[in-house]
Every structure is written in structure tokens, then in C-alpha cells.
């Protein structure tokens, strides 16, 4: 893409610190959206998911509202499994 047609987003993503921040926030958003959709699909409340997964209601609520920081992979796996999902890792296809 030449500079003339470069979007504001492309310019933003060229800055390494901005790109890292974007990726962090975007991943938090994706986790929240997954949890909201999966809970709606299963028609399960925060309290019931907490009982089923062993994860506290406050942590689940913080993930739902994107307030959670430093969510462990153990937490994500427990929530996903309790909702009938499993985590798969896939190699990214873009340059960092």
C-alpha cells in the first residue's frame, strides 16, 4: 500500500507501542465477546457458570465487562470447557 492510500489505522499500527496496546485491548474484547455469546447460547448465568467452572463470579463479571486484566489460561480453559468449548492455538499469519 502506498503512503497516499494508507489508512489512519495502518499509520497507527506502524507504531510498535500503539500496536501492542491495540492487540492487548483487542484480545480482551474478543474474550469478553466469546464469553457473552457462549453464555447466551447456553442460557447460563454468571452464578451458574461460576459454580460449574470454579471461577469466581467477580472474575467472570470482570471478563464480561472487559475490566479483567491478567486473566490466566487456566481461567480461560475452565470457562470455555464449562461452556462446551475447548481452546485451540493457531499460528498467526501476519508479521509482528
Q: Residue 28: phi, psi to the nearest 5?
A: -65, -40
Q: In the prediction, which pLDDT does 46 show?
A: 97
Residue range 15-61, pLDDT digits in tens: 889 888 888 888 889 999 999 999 999 999 999 999 999 999 999 99
The domain segmentation of the chain, as residue ranges, is: 16-82
For domain 16-82, the CATH architecture is Orthogonal Bundle (1.10)
Q: What percent of the chain has pLDDT over 90?
A: 57
pLDDT over threshold 70, residue 70? yes
* pLDDT on residue 31: 94
Estimate to the nearest angstrom the gap between the alpha carbon of 74 and the chain centroid: 14
* Predicted local confidence at residue 3, as pLDDT: 64
Predicted local confidence at residue 11, as pLDDT? 84
Which pTM does this prediction carry?
0.75
* Contact call for residues 31 and 59 (beta carbons, < 8 A): no
Euclidean distance between CA atoms 89 and 2, whole angstroms: 33
Amino acid at each position: 500500500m502506498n503512503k497516499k492510500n494508507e489508512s489512519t489505522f495502518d499509520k497507527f499500527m506502524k507504531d510498535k507501542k500503539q500496536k501492542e496496546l491495540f492487540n492487548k485491548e483487542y484480545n480482551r474484547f474478543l474474550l469478553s465477546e466469546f464469553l457473552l455469546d457462549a453464555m447466551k447460547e447456553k442460557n447460563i448465568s454468571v452464578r451458574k457458570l461460576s459454580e460449574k467452572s470454579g471461577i469466581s463470579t467477580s472474575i467472570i463479571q470482570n471478563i464480561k465487562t472487559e475490566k479483567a486484566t491478567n486473566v490466566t489460561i487456566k481461567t480461560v480453559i475452565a470457562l470455555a470447557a464449562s461452556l462446551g468449548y475447548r481452546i485451540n492455538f493457531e499460528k498467526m499469519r501476519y508479521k509482528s
